Amino acid sequence: MKNNTEKLLTLVELFQILKSKGWKQVDISKHSGLKEQNISKMSTGVQKQTSFQRYFALKDLLTKEPPAIKPRVLKTRSVMNLKHYMRGFADGVASVKESKHG
């Protein structure tokens, strides 16, 4: 009779494999439903045990590809705020010059 038991990975080994595949802690948290605090404790080995649901939620990520990294785009709102600030700064400098020399 064959023994069909599969060796379970420790949490630290599981996180090492996930990180080598390109998973980040934030993405692991989003896709597994676990809090980032718990993931941090598990990956460093502080928390050595977890429930079966959490373990298999993490192990399920081994079969999935990590999400693609999105390039950061400068937000137009921040540029608009910067232009508005600079415009106000120039107006303020002009009013100071007028009051001193006016």
The pLDDT tens digits for 55-77 are 888 899 999 988 887 776 665 55
CA angle 60, 62, 67 (to 5 degrees): 100
pTM given for the model: 0.60
Strand, coil or helix: 45: coil
Give the residue from 7, 12, 51 showing the smallest Cα distance to 33: 51
pLDDT, tens digit (0-9, with 9 covering 90-100), for 25-64: 889 999 888 888 888 888 888 888 888 888 888 899 999 9
Q: What are phi and psi of 94, to 5 degrees?
A: -65, -40
Task: Identify the architecture of domain 11-63 in CATH.
Answer: Orthogonal Bundle (1.10)
